[in-house]
Amino acid sequence: MKPPPLKDDCFAMPPGVDWTPVDDALAMLQKGLHCVTKAEAIDLMDAGGRVLAADVVAVRSNPPYANSAVDGYGFAFDCLDSNDVVELALVPGRSAAGGPFEGVVPAGKALRILTGARVPTGVDTVVLEEDCSVLGDAIAFRKGLKQGANTRNAGEDVLASDVVLTAGHVLRSQDIALLAAVGVGGVSVRRRLRVAVLSTGDEVVSVGQLATQSQIYDANRPMLLQTIREWGYEPVDLGHVADDPELVKAALERGAIQADAILTSGGASAGDEDHVSAVLGSRGAVQTWRIAMKPGRPLALALWDGVPVFGLPGNPVAALVCTLVFARPACAVLAGAAWQNPAGFDVPAAFSKNKKAGRREYLRARVRGGKAEVFKSEGSGRISGLSWAEGLVELSNEAQEISDGDLVRFYPYGSFGI
């Protein structure tokens, strides 16, 4: 036998193998997905993080009535004359938030009015109290205000019956505030997406169990379960199974009953012990993509009893990067939200690198002093780099010679929802 010569790059692309570019893989994934969660009605107070199942219409306007934006004195603008100094007699009483003035302010007179108070009949302009001199029952201020100054019109923010949020929107705290302000007490949302996580491999044991010298602790499962929680979905722990096709099959069957999507780690390639791909392939519904990315590469996508399965690489760094890049936007669509692209920004590099052409690369990175630092090693098993980092630097498919100070694209972990 004559073995092939060794290559320095263990990730080198073998000749004749079709590699799927990241953007192509994402486009195909997006095209084949749809919402799988049903709608349910819940109280607004419990709706944070949920996906709207229907458009939401304002019950009342915001603000519901014209009100003052400042503490001051209200009057009718048309009553002002051409004098440089305006003098107005005060009407007894005041208008306060929650305690409106019920009368009419006569032309040529002013009323004490506080921030947020309803603007009474006869008032269309408010002068700031700091701009006034007060003597007895009269005020004086200098000319220069515009009509309507320091007032808020009814409905200037939102009008009753306006659509304020649309279906597919993920409710944040600021959205809850908006809905409360326009009188919405309950909303129709999608049931929380249930995402199951399964770890495989004879070499893997769960934390808390006794590991032999030839075994490693399962870092992927707790990492992925927590990621799912941070995305606002319901995690389903399928545990860990050994490299046994029957055990893998049984775990997938449990996952298909309990969850809307399944993430597996390990066994996604085409080796002798890659039982996840083999079991998925036994149903004839598996598609193994060799993604042109680092870390990553093997990604098995399949349907098991109608439930999408994402077969992730076993190395923790590759498993998380593939989860953030592929599973996150896919799960968003399954949950009823829009496809989610991470938001990144360009920062100067605090590193140098000679990148080869052919694959998109994601480097564990953080920003210090306005520049992107990268972790000392690119190895997929270096879990400490995930914790050290605050996001990922993305390098395009093309060959690049990166020098200190060159702009690179940085994606904070927060843009991936973690």
Question: In angstroms, how far is CA 102 from the centroid of its own chain?
Answer: 47
* pLDDT score recorded for residue 135: 92
Residue 271: predicted pLDDT: 52
pLDDT of residue 283: 75
Ordered domains of the chain (ranges, CATH): 22-37+193-334 (3.40.980.10), 39-62+156-190 (3.90.105.10), 67-152 (2.170.190.11), 345-416 (2.40.340.10)
Q: Which residue has the tokens 């004490």?
A: 112
315's CB contacts (< 8 A; 6+ apart) are: 295, 380, 381
The pLDDT value given to residue 124: 97
Tens-digit pLDDT profile for the chain (418 aa)?
555 554 444 444 555 557 889 999 899 889 989 999 999 999 999 999 999 999 999 999 999 999 999 999 999 999 998 889 999 999 999 999 999 999 999 999 999 999 999 999 999 999 999 999 999 999 999 999 999 999 999 999 999 999 999 999 999 999 999 999 999 999 999 999 999 999 998 888 888 888 888 888 999 999 999 999 999 999 999 999 998 999 999 999 999 999 999 999 986 555 545 678 888 888 766 777 788 999 987 788 888 988 999 999 889 999 999 999 999 999 999 999 999 999 999 999 999 999 999 899 999 999 999 999 999 988 877 999 999 999 999 999 999 999 999 999 999 999 999 9
